[in-house]
């Protein structure tokens, strides 16, 4: 799927509806975060980080024409499968349909986790392959020659494994219509509340967010023995003090 195809979709009435929903999710989430740096991967024309408090904001895309539409100060032409950053560089990383646009989404996800700092925030926005847009109307959505398929929420969770703790998630846009007529889309507004209540997993899009897990350090060898001995030494005065209090009381 060409990135320009996705950009063209966001210019449609249905695409604008999706973009508004995603912008609302990102505004609500980004305003609660902290940190110095944030990275957006994919769809540079979408201002996912506009509400983020980070001083440094960058976007990476493999499409130079899309980078020209970016609103960020730092725009990098690059491959999401091999990001030009060191490990643990960013406090927040947003994958804006980047998993939908790559032939190897697992590699893109691993790269995002590599450049994310410990306890950093990972956000994933994508199409739901079980939603009516993709499941029944993918040719209308992105063309007949689209070789790439979106990844599901269970796939994302299983691929991340224990490296990222997913603590937030939302499904959105339940309307099956891709009409260019805004009045037709308006007639499907009722399904948004009903879908969110009765069949959330069948939405057209989703947002997942999690925190990069930090493994606890374990002391080994002589250092471990030293600190174990120090722990026993620290406990001794507490026992003696307790005994002294009992004697005084008697």
pLDDT number for residue 112: 96
Contact 66, 45 (CB under 8 A): yes
Number of residues written out for the chain: 250
- Specify whether 146 is located in the same domain as 228: no
- Specify whether 177 is located in the same domain as 234: no
- Specify whether 129 is located in the same domain as 239: no
Q: Is the pLDDT of residue 104 over 80?
A: yes
222-248 pLDDT, tens digit per residue, is 555 665 665 544 444 444 444 444 433
From residue 177, alpha-carbon distances to 51, 182, 185, 243 in Å are 30, 10, 7, 77
- Domain span at residue 228 reads 217-250
Closest-CA residue to 90 (of 60, 67, 58) = 58
Residue 188 pLDDT level (bands cut at 50, 70, 90): confident
3-43 pLDDT, tens digit per residue, is 457 788 888 888 999 999 999 999 999 999 999 999 999 98
- Specify whether 126 is located in the same domain as 8: yes
Look over the chain and give the mean of its residue pLDDT values, rounded to a whole number: 83
- Specify whether 68 is located in the same domain as 48: yes
- Specify whether 144 is located in the same domain as 86: yes
- Specify whether 158 is located in the same domain as 232: no
- Specify whether 118 is located in the same domain as 229: no
- Specify whether 175 is located in the same domain as 249: no
SS3 170: strand
CATH number of the domain that 12 lies in?
A: 3.40.50.150
| pLDDT above 90: percentage of residues in the chain | 49
How many separate domains does the chain show?
2
Contact 183, 133 (CB under 8 A): no
Q: Is the pLDDT of residue 1 over 90?
A: no
- Specify whether 120 is located in the same domain as 69: yes
Q: How many CB atoms lie within 10 A of CB 245?
A: 10
116-125 pLDDT, tens digit per residue, is 999 999 999 9
DSSP strand pairing (56-61 vs 37-41)? parallel
Residue 45 pLDDT level (bands cut at 50, 70, 90): confident
pLDDT number for residue 145: 66
- Specify whether 25 is located in the same domain as 119: yes
- Specify whether 146 is located in the same domain as 232: no
């Amino acid at each position: 799927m060409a990135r320009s195809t996705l950009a063209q979709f966001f210019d449609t009435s249905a695409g604008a509806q999706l973009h508004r929903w995603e912008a609302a999710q990102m505004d609500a989430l980004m305003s609660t975060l902290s940190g110095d740096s944030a990275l957006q991967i994919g769809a540079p024309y979408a201002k996912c980080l506009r509400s983020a408090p980070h001083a440094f904001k960058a976007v990476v895309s493999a499409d130079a024409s899309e980078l020209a539409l970016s609103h960020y100060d730092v725009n990098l032409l690059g491959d999401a499968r091999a990001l030009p950053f060191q490990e643990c560089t960013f406090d927040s990383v947003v994958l804006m349909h980047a998993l939908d646009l790559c032939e190897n989404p697992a590699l893109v996800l691993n790269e995002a986790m590599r450049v994310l700092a410990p306890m950093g925030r990972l956000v994933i926005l994508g199409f739901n392959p079980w939603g009516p847009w993709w499941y029944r109307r993918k040719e209308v959505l992105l063309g007949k020659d689209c070789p790439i398929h979106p990844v599901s929420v269970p796939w994302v969770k299983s691929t991340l494994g224990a490296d990222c703790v997913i603590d937030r998630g939302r499904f959105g846009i339940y309307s099956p219509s891709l009409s260019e007529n805004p009045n037709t889309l308006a007639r499907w507004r009722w399904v948004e509340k009903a879908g969110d209540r009765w069949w959330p997993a069948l939405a057209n899009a989703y947002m997942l967010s999690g925190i990069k897990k930090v493994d606890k350090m374990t002391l080994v060898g002589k250092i471990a023995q030293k600190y174990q001995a120090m722990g026993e030494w620290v406990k001794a005065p507490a026992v003696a003090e307790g005994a002294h209090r009992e004697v005084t009381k008697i």
